[in-house]
Amino acid sequence: MIRQLLPIAVLLFLAGCGKKSGPVTPDPPRQMTVKSSWLDNTAFGNTAYEAALRPVVKIVFSEPLMRSTVPGAISFTDLNGVAVPNTVSYQQNDSVLLIQPTASLAGLTRYQFRLANTLKSAAGGPFISSVDKLIITRIDSSRKFPPLTDNELLDKVQLQTFNYFWDFAHPVSGLARERNNSGETVTSGGSGFGIMAILTGINRGFITRAQGLARLQTIASFLKNTAVKVKGAFPHWLNGTTGAIVPFSNNDNGADLVETSYLMMGLLTARQYFNGADAAETNLRSDINTLYNNVEWDWFRNGGQNVLYWHYSPDKGWVMNMPIRGWNECLITYVLAASSATHGIPAAVYSNGWTANGTNGFINGSTYYGYVLPLGPPQGGPLFFSHYSFLGINPNGLSDAYANYATQTLHHALINYQYCRTSQVAGIGYSDSVWGLTASDIPNGYTASSPTHDVGVIAPTAALSSFPYTPAQSMAALKFFYYVLGDKLWKEYGFVDAFSLKEPWFASSFLAIDQGPIVIMIENYRSGLLWNLFTSCPEVKAGMLSLGFSAPYL
């Protein structure tokens, strides 16, 4: 009997011991993680480009959500921290979260979407994943402004851009400010472009001839009597009130021959325009002749070498050590140096210095996108190479031993266009209406963009200053810039300097050397005004002939 009752006693004893150990602790709620992220049914990495204007953010979790923790955990803002109103919904037993803006987002704008770790699972488990996403919206393709005829649009662009040189000119000197935030600093080369823009303004009826004459008198008087000159040449930058040199860099604190040549191109063009016999116009022409004849172009041979040098400093001499060799934007410098009756250069300086007798990369001859490029670097380089000198020099019918310059400028522009049109860079936004690589501002800097140095930034001046070469392609770009991107690009002085659709980024700046060619080259496309005036200069005709050029206008 005892042996039979023993197992029962042991079990009762063990059961009693179990009661004394207390209740069993339940397992804690499991941690919650993100299984996947989606934007409009596309897998969502850290950044989404070209997002819809009312995108749906979809986050799939490993556990159902505690709904009360969701609103406080969501952060959906633009990059200025302004909250985006949104609606929230759930799927799959609250394990899928859907967030959508209640109204359309702005086009080409960056938004930040985050989920904080205050989010919890329905069981109270902690959220241990990280959600920090950048959403970049696509272009809002709606038209931002009422339609205009092509001529009305060209008028509007020329007028608004002209205002940079008219309304925003320095109040004392009348010269062009370097950029829209440069204060007292004016630019010599950009002012040459501004002078040609003023002539365009008179021709288009934006201002009267008398108004333009008065402004040119102010400019010429300041340059002649107030501005500091070095060997008759001007620095890159000046103080617009005192005329003092504003150093461009530590060693570039004297004459800049290339910038001087842009200024002289503008002044000589104005001299040809103001051809009246009255005292005011006669005196203006005399002042311009004095300014041009006083430039010691031959001094910049640096001891009689057969090449021109870009810089000379009164206290640092030739320390910049930059010979001017082609092919680039400096053809006009050699043309004006050869054209000077007082300090001219022989043809040997041009042939040995500028062209290097066709060596040193001057001649190209390769084919890009089906177009043979006679001169210059691979794929042409930045488009300002075909703009700055040709604001006054008409390339049509112009040729020499090295090139047909109508072909050079046309093919350069077309290569740039075709590169952008066919670009395969993901998300960069180039097209047959978004093209044009040249020197411009970029995010946090400045660079000379080209097909071989492409940072994803388009400068409106590139396509618009190519109007004489590529009118159809330039008009397509103009209409896209104005009608589609106009809410981002079109401001008080025309189009801002540059933009990137990938970032996206839109400059707030205007630069004289970029705004000027837009006004001038659209006018050359429409009437040939600046080409006709500059190439009518007798000394320019003689100078270009001496360098071996031929053209119907020489």
Tokens read off for 39: 């934007």
Say whether 65 sits in a helix, a strand or coil.
Answer: strand
Distance, CA of 414 to CA of 358 (rounded, Å): 23
3-state class percentages of the chain: helix first, strand second, coil last, to nearest 5: 40, 20, 45
Number of separate helices (H) and strands (E) present in the chain: 16, 22
Distance, CA of 422 to CA of 181 (rounded, Å): 36
* Residues ≥6 apart with Cβ < 8 Å to 315: 253, 254
Distance, CA of 96 to CA of 64 (rounded, Å): 8
Distance, CA of 190 to CA of 170 (rounded, Å): 12
Distance, CA of 145 to CA of 11 (rounded, Å): 91
Distance, CA of 153 to CA of 535 (rounded, Å): 28
DSSP result, 462-500: HHHTTTTT-HHHHHHHHHIIIIISHHHHEETTEE-S-EE
What pLDDT, on the 0 to 100 scale, is given for residue 22?
58
Residue 214: other Cβ atoms inside 10 A: 14
User: Could you tell me if 301 and 338 are in contact, meaning their C-beta atoms sit under 8 angstroms apart?
Assistant: no
Tokens read off for 377: 């670097």
User: Could you tell me if 177 and 509 are in contact, meaning their C-beta atoms sit under 8 angstroms apart?
Assistant: no
What pLDDT, on the 0 to 100 scale, is given for residue 371?
98
Taken in order 97, 102, 105, 111, is the CA torsion positive or negative? negative
Q: Which of 191, 221, 198, 233 minimizes the C-alpha distance to 286?
A: 221
Distance, CA of 240 to CA of 169 (rounded, Å): 9
Residue 240: other Cβ atoms inside 10 A: 28
Q: Which residue has the tokens 């589609």?
A: 484
3-state secondary structure 432-464: CCCCCCCEEEECCEEEECECCECCCCECHHHHH
Q: Which of 522, 524, 497 minimizes the C-alpha distance to 512?
A: 497
Say whether 161 sits in a helix, a strand or coil.
Answer: helix
How do the pLDDT tens digits run along the chain, 554 residues long? 444 444 444 344 444 444 445 566 677 899 999 999 999 989 999 999 889 999 999 999 999 999 999 999 999 999 899 999 999 999 999 999 999 999 999 999 999 999 999 999 999 999 999 899 999 999 999 999 999 999 999 999 999 999 999 999 999 999 999 999 999 999 999 999 999 999 999 999 999 999 999 999 999 999 999 999 999 999 999 999 999 999 999 999 999 999 999 999 999 999 999 999 999 999 999 999 999 999 999 999 999 999 999 999 999 999 999 999 999 999 999 999 999 999 999 999 999 999 999 999 999 999 999 999 999 999 999 999 999 999 999 999 999 999 999 999 999 999 999 999 998 776 789 999 999 999 999 999 999 999 999 999 999 999 999 999 999 999 999 999 999 999 999 999 999 999 999 889 999 999 999 999 999 999 999 999 999 999 999 999 999 999 999 999 99
Q: Which pairing describes strands 47-51 and 131-137: parallel, antiparallel, or unpaired? A: parallel
Q: In what order do the strands lie in the sheet with 110-115?
A: 47-51, 131-137, 110-115, 74-78
Q: Which residue has the tokens 């540059």?
A: 498
Residue 21: other Cβ atoms inside 10 A: 7
Task: List domains and CATH numbers for the chain.
Answer: 34-137 (2.60.40.1220), 150-546 (1.50.10.140)
Tokens read off for 361: 């990369």
Residue 10: other Cβ atoms inside 10 A: 10
Distance, CA of 436 to CA of 300 (rounded, Å): 33
Distance, CA of 514 to CA of 502 (rounded, Å): 22
Instruction: For residue 464, give Cα distances in angstroms to 33, 300, 302, 482, 507.
Output: 52, 33, 37, 12, 17
Q: Which of 461, 481, 463 minimizes the C-alpha distance to 472?
A: 463
User: Could you tell me if 259 and 227 are in contact, meaning their C-beta atoms sit under 8 angstroms apart?
Assistant: no
Distance, CA of 144 to CA of 91 (rounded, Å): 38
User: Could you tell me if 253 and 316 are in contact, meaning their C-beta atoms sit under 8 angstroms apart?
Assistant: yes
